Structure 1
Amino acid sequence: MAIHPVYAEAILDGTKKVEFRKRRLAEDIRTVWIYATAPVQRIVGEFHIGETVVDSPETIWSSFGAVGIIEHSEYQSYFAEKTEAVAFVVQGATRYETPVALHELEPRPSIPQSFSYRHA
């Protein structure tokens, strides 16, 4: 999952306890690799999804805004004109000792615009 470095860091240090998205993941996805976007451009860690909550953007904000580490105005802009928001509750985040560049993986994935799937 592509995540801005400031939010990736907040997930890994335990202050960001939920990741907001516009779309759900496949139901069988339990572990998310954290791809920190530019300037890092590496997979810096992973987290497990404790729960996936889908509701209106207003309800999701009421439930998780305090632990989402995003300004309310940015959140509102991200979900502008959307009727549904998704909150992935972060559980068990792990920082990788050595971040991994995408070109080091086989098969080589493309840079995720939001998220991409990789089968083990």
Structure 2
Amino acid sequence: MDTLFDAPETPPEPVLMSLNPEYYELIWAGEKRHEFRRRYLAGRPTTWYVYLTAPVSRLTAVIDLDTAVLDTPRRIADIAEQVRPGNGASVLAYLEDLEQGFALPIQRVREFEGLAAAELSEMLGSFHPPQGYTLVSRHPRWRPICDRLTAAGPTRQLSLARVPGA
């Protein structure tokens, strides 16, 4: 009989999402410890393949995200404020018309040489930066691209400790 301690751990779900370069730089500076989203997967960790939007326009990083905190906009904004004072108001405005929002705790960031938008278009036939999130498992053409991104190993990496209470 399986016990709680014998239960297999759910592997992270690979997702593809865009991110503005300014927010990416805040992660590296240690000032951004969560990604805030209006919609996301609940109940499991994810591996985020990061496409940096213009002017970078490059699939360039992999971010390991812990299981999302799903809560009221006020509570999600409180997490944003705790981690980076002054950020709570913009997160609250982003989520204010929802019953709940998502705070995705960032655990580890790995940056790679990456693949430019033109290379992605060549590999896929056409490419448009992701809106929202895309499950890699539902788009099999993305799996080899994600594997190619990480094949050479990271050029830099960062692990973030979880903020208590967040």
Q: TM-score range by the shorter chain?
A: 0.7 to 0.9
Question: Which stretches in structure 2 are left out of the alignment for 5+ residues?
Answer: 1-16, 138-142, 144-166
CA contact 2:45–2:67 (8 Å) conserved in 1: no
Q: CA RMSD in A?
A: 2.4
Tell me, in whole angstroms, the C-alpha distance in 2 between the residues paired with 1:43 and 1:64.
26
CA distance 1:76–1:61, change in 2 (3 Å):
closer
Q: Corresponding residue for 1:8?
A: 24
Change (3 A) 1:56 1:46: same
TM-score (norm 1): 0.80
Uncovered stretches (5+) of structure 1, i.e. residues with no partner? none
TM-score (norm 2): 0.61
Residue 150 of structure 2 corresponds to which residue in structure 1? none
**Bigger share in helix:** 2
TM superposition shift of 1:82: 1.4
Question: Which structure is larger by alpha-carbon Rg, 1 or 2?
Answer: 2
Take 2:45 and 2:33, find their aligned partners in 1: how far apart are those partners? Answer: 18
- SS for the counterpart of 2:48 is strand
Identify which of structures 1 and 2 has the higher relative contact order when contacts are C-alpha pairs closer than 8 Å and 6+ apart. 1
On the 8 A contact 2:37/2:102 being kept in 1, the answer is: yes
**1:28 Cα deviation from its structure 2 partner:** 6.0
Closer, same or farther in 2 for the Cα pair 1:14/1:33, shift >3 Å?
farther
